[in-house]
Structure 1
């Protein structure tokens, strides 16, 4: 996923500072925003809403129709923009005044938007201030509460990570789902998890990865799919669960930390083991598969017997017709837990919206039981509300996917947050190439100690020089 352009600290007007942030964006992009649906946002009663996920569009279009029936004076206009262009167009829209009134926000992006004062706190509006935090899954409101104690997004959905596997290949290997239900891992020999991965790996001569004569250089089916190193920087869809169950935490505080811990030996030994599976031929070598296609393509094509992926991809795996897809929890690690990284999107209100009352009413409706239950029944994500989660779970079961491996960590409290800190884009720019080097060139993960120092300098500079990010 492409990072949002670098954004400087407050000190000038929000639009001036955002203009500096995207000064390198081609003029064509900025000019194009003038023709986006947001251009007529000043019209009375118009609410421009942006999101990036095309799979969610139908459900939210239905929510818009339901909202308009209750608010006939409001007209919700939804714009879907793919992730790769979403953040650039959003930032450019803020500058030109052609952006949305409400938009789907990500925890890796919103800290910089908070600093730039482009988001409206929910307590400024009667409709959103009335929302009850207890209606949402534990922790989601905390994710969207800034260091000032004010909330900047209505919880929209949540996700965790689990394993998807080809049931036919599992049975051919003489394994059963129960073998995946009690597995464990450790950084020394990979535990029973690595045993399963090795046995599911098959070379072009039909020899399995745990059998004599296995040819690791000519593999037909990898036991575990892999396409890129970072997994959204924090290893979200890949190695985060392993590192977390080995005692690693990415920052010094669960939320809004100001020190990263990628110098932790617990992370280093996890990554050395994880990417070391490529040396054994159990996962694809770097560059063998197109990272943009994701690991779902590897599972669907039969190139991989099993992949780790997020709950936001359940619908994609449910659509596989060639074989039934099973799900399994991440393995129990050295700390005795089967942990998953948890993330949650939210809907944020733009501070300079031309329709503040309508925007707040729409944002509140997006977090309401009526809308979130509609989304839950569609089976595209796990909605943020507790009363909508069972509806999504049932929808997934009807599609043939067992949702329990995704819901269990939440129910048990065995989750860690996706990192919420300042300098998200800068951290990604430093960490992504280092992780890629570990995977591609198999350099020892201890190289991240140097990367960690460079990351933490950002926070130290921020503390000593308030204008350090000003361009």
Structure 2
């Protein structure tokens, strides 16, 4: 699951969606080179996370020592460049042998024959899929029932808050850990957001005389409008109402953005902007969530577990981590996601590529990643080491891990036609959050999404 991940996973997968659709469709037009099963030589490996590069470079060094006939060449690109280069590489048959893949993308890649299914290799290697954090391995079974990756990490959603600000506002840690929410009045979640909002005269959002047009600190930060899945923005709210994205757990063909529960949730969320408790959508261009937290512009931010290293190492600000609020269902909810490494169908060294993918998903490599304290690896056996490493930041990450252990997570919504869906919903949600359209306008957008599968 965050998931920026170097930009947020929740917002960045929407970048270059139109380009993605054009280039990936081009792959189908020109056919896909079947590649070769070479078991030695150089394996090119692409990733987007700069913070994780040292750990994976160490994995590559260790792997090469065990496999002297295979060299691993790692290349790292920023998020936007990463996907643009990958899409171009698919068309030009120059994509890397192995690359870090995202659940929002791999369905359409697999549908067009660009990825190698690894079911046989997994079975022959005797890999125990139950050894991974619950739910993470299932995310990588495509619409055709075939497996296209082994989980390398997992993530979920939590709530960072400025401890000094909550103390000054008279809000206890216990209150932060037991927040409630509903789409009618926002529950204690909105109460806290209002209390933590302070205007330039020092008046709080729940006090008489609060000036919503001259806010010094917003109670809740804003990542983006959330596109079609709202990973860190609104998914943790709407999922407590009994809503789901589509007509199937995954790979659905009819969507539910016309559901009153979804539209009511978005209306409440947008209402925070009207009240002055959350910044306008345009404000997100002024700096990342962590930068705004460090500057004291945001008192709280909902973010993915992949950001622990970033937030935990912010200087000059004392942060704590709370779980997502309890909703109308009586439970919390948080999206769970996982990244995996996929093999390009046209690779000339698919045998060697599989050995590298297998090693990336092994305890040997994931232990190295766990010790690095940047992200939480997917193997259960590395979880405690990962918690210990991440705790060096001073943050208690149980707000993330408890959600998975307590069964209050839900999987990233896997869809086909992801580029088109992203593009449509990004534009529609941006318009709603910019007050250029009402939440009810999503009903018409929902019809356009359904039409993609007719």
Output the TM-score relative to the length of structure 2: 0.92
Aligned 8 A contact 1:255 1:419 in 2: yes
Q: Work out whether 1:325 is the aligned partner of 2:319.
A: yes
Query: What is the aligned partner in structure 1 of residue 50 from structure 2?
Result: 54
CA gap 1:415/1:126 in 2 versus in 1, 3 angstroms: closer
Structure-to-structure mapping, 1:357-376, within 5 angstroms: 357-376=351-370
Shift of 1:15: 4.0
Write the deviation string for residues 105-162 of structure 1: whole angstroms up to 9, x where unpaired.
0011111111111111113436875321111112222111122221001111111111
Q: Work out whether 1:263 is the aligned partner of 2:264.
A: no
Shift of 1:330: 0.7
Structure 1 residues without counterparts, runs of 5 or longer: 17-40, 461-471
Distance 1:126 1:441 in 2: 49
Structure 1 residue corresponding to 2:186, chosen from 187, 190, 206:
190
Q: Which is worse superposed, 408-417 or 359-368? A: 408-417
Structure 2 residue corresponding to 1:133, chosen from 129, 133, 152:
129
Structure 2 residue corresponding to 1:299, chosen from 286, 293, 308:
293
Distance 2:429 2:28 in 1: 34
Structure 2 residue corresponding to 1:163, chosen from 159, 164, 179:
159
* Residue aligned with 1:320, SS: coil
Query: What is the aligned partner in structure 1 of residue 435 from structure 2?
Result: 441
Q: Work out whether 1:245 is the aligned partner of 2:240.
A: yes
Structure 2 residue corresponding to 1:8, chosen from 25, 32, 44:
25
Write the deviation string for residues 391-447 of structure 1: whole angstroms up to 9, x where unpaired.
211111121111111111111111122111111010011111111111111643111
Aligned 8 A contact 2:160 2:319 in 1: yes
Structure-to-structure mapping, 1:67-106, within 5 angstroms: 67-106=63-102
Query: What is the aligned partner in structure 1 of residue 347 from structure 2?
Result: 353
Distance 2:146 2:32 in 1: 22
Distance 2:212 2:70 in 1: 61
Q: Work out whether 1:216 is the aligned partner of 2:212.
A: yes
Write the deviation string for residues 338-365 of structure 1: whole angstroms up to 9, x where unpaired.
1001111100111121112211100000
Shift of 1:188: 0.9
Aligned 8 A contact 1:10 1:115 in 2: no
Query: What is the aligned partner in structure 2 of residue 313 from structure 1?
Result: 307
Distance 2:191 2:28 in 1: 56
Output the TM-score relative to the length of structure 1: 0.88
Query: What is the aligned partner in structure 2 of residue 463 from structure 1?
Result: none
CA gap 1:442/1:391 in 2 versus in 1, 3 angstroms: farther
Distance 1:43 1:214 in 2: 67
Aligned 8 A contact 2:156 2:336 in 1: yes
Distance 2:297 2:389 in 1: 28
Aligned 8 A contact 1:123 1:129 in 2: no
CA gap 1:263/1:178 in 2 versus in 1, 3 angstroms: same
Q: Work out which structure has the larger RCO, using CA pairs closer than 8 Å and 6 or more positions apart in sequence.
A: 2
Distance 2:386 2:55 in 1: 12
Distance 2:27 2:69 in 1: 36
* Residue aligned with 1:170, SS: helix
Distance 1:93 1:42 in 2: 20
Q: Which runs of 4+ in 1 moved over 4 A?
A: 9-13, 41-44, 126-129
CA gap 1:126/1:197 in 2 versus in 1, 3 angstroms: closer
Distance 2:122 2:314 in 1: 45
Structure 2 residue corresponding to 1:341, chosen from 335, 338, 343:
335
Distance 2:71 2:26 in 1: 34
Q: Work out whether 1:278 is the aligned partner of 2:278.
A: no
Q: How many residues align?
A: 434
Shift of 1:98: 2.3
Distance 2:40 2:342 in 1: 20
Distance 1:120 1:361 in 2: 13
* Residue aligned with 1:326, SS: strand
Aligned 8 A contact 2:97 2:353 in 1: yes
Distance 1:53 1:254 in 2: 29
Distance 1:273 1:306 in 2: 17
Distance 1:78 1:129 in 2: 24
Aligned 8 A contact 1:48 1:102 in 2: yes
Query: What is the aligned partner in structure 1 of residue 7 from structure 2?
Result: none
Distance 2:256 2:26 in 1: 24
CA gap 1:127/1:77 in 2 versus in 1, 3 angstroms: farther
Q: Which is worse superposed, 117-126 or 7-16? A: 7-16
Q: Which is worse superposed, 101-110 or 255-264? A: 255-264
Q: Which is worse superposed, 423-432 or 280-289? A: 280-289
Structure-to-structure mapping, 1:28-47, within 5 angstroms: 44-47=40-43
Structure 2 residues without counterparts, runs of 5 or longer: 1-11
Shift of 1:224: 0.5
Aligned 8 A contact 1:222 1:281 in 2: yes
* Residue aligned with 1:441, SS: coil
Structure 1 residue corresponding to 2:149, chosen from 148, 153, 175:
153
